[in-house]
Structure 1
Amino acid sequence: MELDDVDWKLLEILQTDGRITFTELARRVSLSAPATTERVRRLEQAGVLTGYVAVVDHRRLGLPIEAIVRVRVRSLDTPRFRERVVPLAQVRDADHVTGDDCWLLRVVCRSTQELEEFVEHAQRFGDTTTSLVFSSPVRTRPVTRETSDGIVFR
């Protein structure tokens, strides 16, 4: 799908404020509300916009421990890993990746003991490496026209 300047501006705004009203969105892109609504619907139908989410601070919900757990799953255990580890409540993100590790999991836990139990459960399917997250200076950075055009380095 070819995106014009207005489409990119809509995406930029919606990625940072998914709750914005169509009236305010239209004002920011200098279109009428109906024209803006139609463009957003077109982006949704094309699969460019796939949903809207609320961003939640897990620490304020009693989940202060965040870790990246890399898992090298034995090939025959991949289906069982997908059904027994990936769906666990502690898993916020799960990526099946190439390289030495097969899975990259971002998990949140109430305590280091809970994290230890999670890692022990994951180790039933292969070797793990766990890193505690100190901070996340970039989290869900919006996709921009520059990203799409490949202009990443300055």
Structure 2
Amino acid sequence: MLDDLDRRIVEILVDDARISLKELASRVNLSSPSASERLRRLEERGVIRAFTVDIDPAALGYTLQAIVRIKPLPGRLHAVQKLIEEIPEFTECDKVTGDDCFVARLLIRSISDLDQILDKITDKAETSSAIVKAQPVKRRLPPFS
């Protein structure tokens, strides 16, 4: 569990992972060494896994996103997983229970790109895709309680 101070540190870092240690300490009313120690413990416990950059795919020309459900043909599970891992436009993929084995997020520049990517998979799996119209809930932190 996180105490209130750890929660505040994590929230600040989610908003700006590049914040200086001095500024972080100031915002949570700690000395820099104390803030550094808290941060180190959060990393050691695995609460903080990485400091990262949030990139806007549209700024790179990826104006469309698709959610793709993928059901490998019998005996093709590992081959399909390898293909998904190798195609860089697949930015997220979950292995799931149910009728499908994978649910993946795909960034594309056009519908023809979607067709070209899915063509690489269709001889090994059944796919069902949906174009994302909006993302009302972006990736966010789980509740801290």
When normalised by structure 2's length, the TM-score is 0.92
- Structure 1: gaps of 5 or more residues: 150-154
SS in structure 1 of the partner of residue 129 of structure 2: strand
* Structure 1 moving runs of 4+ over 4 Å: none
Residues 80 and 125 of structure 2 are in contact (CA less than 8 Å); yes or no, is this contact kept in structure 1? no
Gap runs ≥5 in structure 2? none
Secondary structure of the 2:58 match is: helix
Is the counterpart of residue 42 in structure 1 residue 73 in structure 2?
no
Would the aligned equivalents of 1:68 and 1:131 in 2 still touch at CA under 8 Å? Answer: yes
SS in 1 for 2:76: helix
Listed as ranges, the matches of 1:24-63 within 5 Å are 24-63=23-62
Q: What SS class does the counterpart of residue 141 from structure 1 fall into?
A: coil
For the aligned residue pairs, the C-alpha RMSD in angstroms reads: 1.4
Distance 1:12 1:74 in 2: 43
SS of the residue 2:134 aligns to? coil
Output the CA distance in 1 between the equivalents of 2:98 and 2:19: 40
Q: What is the rounded CA distance, in whole Å, between the counterparts of 1:74 and 1:13 in structure 2?
A: 45
- 2:33 partner letter: P
Aligned length: 145
Q: In structure 2, how many angstroms separate the alpha carbons of the residues matched to 1:127 and 1:30?
A: 55
- Give the alignment's TM-score, normalised by structure 1: 0.87
**Counterpart in the other structure of 1:90:** 89
How far the C-alpha of 1:138 sits from its partner, in A, is 1.5
